[in-house]
Structure 1
Amino acid sequence: MSEKLRVGFIGAGLMGHGMAKNLVERGFPLTVMGNRNRQPIDHLVSLGATEAKTARAVAEASDIVFLCLPNSAVVDKVVLGPDGIAEGAHDGLIVADSTTADPTETKRIGAALAEKGVAMLDTPLTMTPKEAEAGTLNVLVGGLAEVLERARPAIACFGRNIFHVGPLGAAHSLKLINNFMSMSMVALFSEAVVTARKAGVSVDGLHELISAGALNNPLFQKVMDWPLKGDASGLQFAIENALKDVSYYNRVAADAGATAPIGATVQQIYALANAQGEGKTHVPKLMDVLGRLNGL
């Protein structure tokens, strides 16, 4: 396509702002839907984006609409609810959902859009808001290859690596498996730190040992910045989001008929922390919750 795609963006939050910023800075006509947090929207408008009041208006003005929303329930409302994307549907429109979402819901929403001539991709992300701002995210894509090729020039604005992993829903499933693994490791590291403290073992010594061996990895280093330096900013991911993602992962496992005993346990760990009012807390501080349970 010789002319640049007209791009819509709904959900310009912690991750979405960087994605949308890269789109408008690379010359794509951008329409954004406003939200309660005005700062990212006002910044995008200052760069040349146009603000729309409804998802329907965003769809009407766009060839592709990216979503980066909290969960599948919000996606359903934005796409199929009143004044939603479906009401602004037109031939050739693509909806690309970068939400970490339930793949069963993704496939249901995609089927509803297909009846209106709209193609859907699931385009979840790995990495952090830092990479979103830099335009160097990893993007997993589920959906038809020809739809991805139409969308690729826009996705490439914020995605350093683009992986086509299968049909619609496959990317959301893979993202959930990825997040299950990472959040399980955060829980494991947190329990290890608490056990070390309870047993009178040096946390510095634990860090030194793991850093010198095969268990060392960047996620471990980010988590350990909290007990060693009092810095949880390296992993800005809320406990309530970890609970959501691991819960979705367990649905994927159940739908596939897979046994997932570790997933069930990890879900309960984050549910416990969330029930104690720690939902907005970044996940490295899970060790504080476990520490309190252990009288530390």
Structure 2
Amino acid sequence: MVKERIGFIGVGLMGHGMAANIVGKGWPLTVMGHRNREPVEDLKARGASEAATPRELAEQSDIVILCVTGSPEVQGILQGPDGLAAAGKPLLVVDCSTSDPSVTMRLAAELAPAGITLIDAPLSRTPADAQAGTLDVMVGGDPDAVARARPVIDAFAGRVMHTGPTGTGHTMKLLNNFLSLGYAAIYAEALALGAKAGLTPQVFDSVIRGGRMDCGFYQTFFKWVLDRDPNAHKFAIRNGLKDMTYLASLANSVGSSNPVGAAVRNSFALAVGTGHGDDYVPMLTDAVAELNGIK
């Protein structure tokens, strides 16, 4: 069986591992580079080709996977002057970014007359899982389009959940990130309060770890808190703020109050505003401690 040609834009922290699994498992792969050449050169050494523009990549692809920051980047790649749509050919586009669901649904409707099918397949877990091919993927789209994309998604996924029509994957991703970023904000505040009251992170961990409030995210988060492992969870605080902003937009669009979401967003906004935007999410603990005059 001849495998479809795959294009991949966004070979960063998550995308590099995903693309490596795709090309390593036998799909013809074309990638588009960005500022960091190292992952592109690695993928080319594994057998991938490189395109200079989204349009050129589309001309060489049947299915295109996007793993970029958010909706503005996705829209530019799809509809820009040298974008995917400019190639003038049918494509299946799989958006693995964390995007605004309302924008995803609008883009899907706008692109459909040109023969471009857009489905959303945002990710959960870490860059290490991307390398291992064990990501969680939430897929929103028409069942036939999802079935066509599924073998490629399976190359980098451990679990794949079909959430419903296009846009529902991004909705579920925002809810997933609300939970994880909410935990991050709570951990950071609890640790700072404990430190002010004389409790060390080690004492805090001895009580929580192994108890009912322990979880996989807690354990990853505390690899930074206790071991100062900078690779524990490589997801930037400014991206957390972006996702919580998308969540606020989603809440407004459906007429739902989200007071806790607003508080979590404010925690991340304070961290970005005090110069911690490029730090990773577990480092929110340092930002909150700094605001409280402690280390």
> Distance in 1 between the 2:210 and 2:39 partners?
41
> Distance in 1 between the 2:160 and 2:218 partners?
26
Deviation at 1:118, TM superposition (A): 1.0
Is the 1:89–1:118 contact (alpha carbons within 8 Å) kept by the matching residues of 2?
Answer: no
Residues 1:176 and 2:150 are matched in the alignment: no
> Distance in 1 between the 2:77 and 2:171 partners?
21
> Distance in 2 between the 1:226 and 1:150 partners?
39
> Distance in 2 between the 1:124 and 1:51 partners?
24
Deviation at 1:66, TM superposition (A): 0.2
Aligned twin of 1:227: 225
Aligned twin of 1:240: 238
Counterpart of 1:188 in structure 2: which amino acid? Answer: I
Deviation at 1:231, TM superposition (A): 2.2
- List per-residue Cα deviations over 1:214-241 (Å, max 9, x = no partner): 1111211222233322224211111101
Aligned twin of 1:193: 191
> Distance in 2 between the 1:36 and 1:204 partners?
39
Counterpart of 2:81 in structure 1: which amino acid? Answer: P
Per the normalisation by structure 2, the TM-score is 0.97
Distance 1:212 1:47, change over 3 A: closer
Counterpart of 1:128 in structure 2: which amino acid? Answer: T
Counterpart of 2:227 in structure 1: which amino acid? Answer: K
Residues 1:38 and 2:40 are matched in the alignment: no
Is the 1:121–1:143 contact (alpha carbons within 8 Å) kept by the matching residues of 2?
Answer: yes
Runs of 4+ in 1 over 4 A off after TM superposition: none
> Distance in 1 between the 2:119 and 2:194 partners?
45
- List per-residue Cα deviations over 1:159-216 (Å, max 9, x = no partner): 1211110111000010010001100101101111100110112322211111142111
Counterpart of 1:272 in structure 2: which amino acid? Answer: L
Per the normalisation by structure 1, the TM-score is 0.97
Aligned twin of 2:18: 19
Deviation at 1:104, TM superposition (A): 0.9
Aligned twin of 1:59: 58
Is the 1:5–1:154 contact (alpha carbons within 8 Å) kept by the matching residues of 2?
Answer: no
Aligned twin of 2:87: 88
Aligned twin of 1:136: 134
Is the 1:223–1:232 contact (alpha carbons within 8 Å) kept by the matching residues of 2?
Answer: no
Alignment of 1:53-132 (within 5 A): 53-91=52-90, 93-132=91-130
SS of match in other structure, 2:64: strand
RMSD: 1.1
Structure 2 residue runs without a partner (length 5+): none
Greater displacement, 217-226 / 139-148: 217-226
Deviation at 1:136, TM superposition (A): 1.2
Counterpart of 2:191 in structure 1: which amino acid? Answer: V
Structure 1 residue runs without a partner (length 5+): none
Is the 1:33–1:51 contact (alpha carbons within 8 Å) kept by the matching residues of 2?
Answer: yes
- Identical-residue share of aligned pairs (%): 44
Counterpart of 2:82 in structure 1: which amino acid? Answer: D
> Distance in 2 between the 1:288 and 1:101 partners?
28
Alignment of 1:151-162 (within 5 A): 151-162=149-160
Aligned twin of 2:28: 29
Aligned twin of 1:203: 201
SS of match in other structure, 1:163: strand
> Distance in 2 between the 1:226 and 1:155 partners?
30
Counterpart of 1:53 in structure 2: which amino acid? Answer: A
Counterpart of 2:141 in structure 1: which amino acid? Answer: G
Residues paired across the two proteins, number: 294
> Distance in 2 between the 1:152 and 1:228 partners?
39
- List per-residue Cα deviations over 1:59-115 (Å, max 9, x = no partner): 111110000001111111111001100111413x10000001111111111112102
> Distance in 2 between the 1:34 and 1:235 partners?
24
- List per-residue Cα deviations over 1:104-139 (Å, max 9, x = no partner): 111111112102011111010111111111111111
Is the 1:137–1:160 contact (alpha carbons within 8 Å) kept by the matching residues of 2?
Answer: yes
Deviation at 1:156, TM superposition (A): 1.1
SS of match in other structure, 2:114: coil
SS of match in other structure, 1:164: strand
